[in-house]
Amino acid sequence: MIIKSADFICSNTQISKLPPPTRPEYAFIGRSNVGKSSLINMLVQKKGLAKTSQTPGKTQLINHFYVNETWYIVDLPGYGYARASKSKKADWNKFIQTYLDKRESLQCVMVLIDSRLEPQKIDLEFCSWLGEKGLPFVLVFTKADKQSAVKTDQNIAKFRKAMLAFFEEAPQHFITSSELHTGRDEILGFISNINQS
C-alpha cells in the first residue's frame, strides 16, 4: 500500500465523540512504552504524527488518524503503566474495553508486544480478554532492532506457546522495528487485504 496521506483527526476520552464508524479502523494497543506511537509514525512515514516519548504513559486518549482518506489508525493509551493510580487504571480499563467491545468499524486489534521480553502476564491476559470477546487481533512484536534475530525468535516462540493456554492456535504475528522500518510492508499489506475484502 502506498501512503498518500495521514492526518490527525481527533483525540477523545468519550466514545460518543469518536468519528462516525463508517471507515475500516485498526487499533494499536499494548503495554505503555512498547512503541505504539513510533510504529504508527513508521507505518505512515510521518515523524511526529503520533506523539512518542521515553516516559511511559504519553498517549492518554483515543487518537484517530485518517490514512489515504479511506481508513483509520487508532493510537490507544498503553496498559500496565505501573505508576498510574488505581482509579486511573480502572478508568483506562473501562474506557478502552468499551471502545474495543463496541466499535463497529474496528477491523482488527494490533497487539504490540516488546520482542525483548519473555511472555508477560499482562499481555497474555489482554489477549485472553480479546479472545473472550471474539475480537480479531494479531500480534506485533516491537523493537526487534534491540537484540539478535535469534533472541527475538525465541521470545516469539515462547509467547506463542504461552497463548496455547487460552487459544487453539496463536494468531498471526509480525516482527517490527520502527528504527529500521522492519515489518512495514507486511503490516500495510495485511491492512490493505482487509480493506479490500
Query: What are the distances in angstroms from CA 56 to CA 3, 28, 31, 60?
Result: 28, 15, 9, 10
Using CB under 5 A, pick the residue from 37, 63, 142, 177 that binds Mg ion. 37
Using CB under 6 A, pick the residue from 19, 57, 119, 131 that binds ligand GTP. 57
Tell me whether residue 69 or residue 125 sits nearer to ligand GTP (CB atom): 125
Q: Is residue 148 a contact point for ligand GTP (CB under 6 A)?
A: no
Number of residues assigned to the chain? 197
Which residue is associated with the grid cell 501512503?
3
Kindly state the smallest distance separating residue 52's Cβ from ligand GTP, in Å. 3
Kindly state the smallest distance separating residue 33's Cβ from Mg ion, in Å. 8
Using CB under 6 A, pick the residue from 6, 24, 26, 38 that binds ligand GTP. 38
Q: Is residue 155 a contact point for ligand GTP (CB under 6 A)?
A: no
Using CB under 6 A, pick the residue from 36, 64, 103, 184 that binds ligand GTP. 36
Q: Is residue 59 a contact point for Mg ion (CB under 5 A)?
A: yes
Query: What are the distances in angstroms from CA 120 to CA 17, 153, 182?
Result: 33, 16, 23
Q: Is residue 143 a contact point for ligand GTP (CB under 6 A)?
A: yes
Q: Is residue 41 a contact point for Mg ion (CB under 5 A)?
A: no
Q: Rounded to the nearest 5 degrees, what angle is found at the Cα of 146, between the Cα atoms of 169 and 174?
A: 30
Q: Could you please report the per-residue DSSP string of 157-187?
A: HHHHHHHTTT-SS---EEE-BTTTTBTHHHH
Cβ–Cβ contacts within 10 Å for residue 142, how many? 26
Using CB under 6 A, pick the residue from 1, 18, 27, 52 that binds ligand GTP. 52
Which residue is associated with the grid cell 504524527?
49
Please give the residue ranges that form the binding site for Mg ion (CB under 5 A): 36-37, 58-59
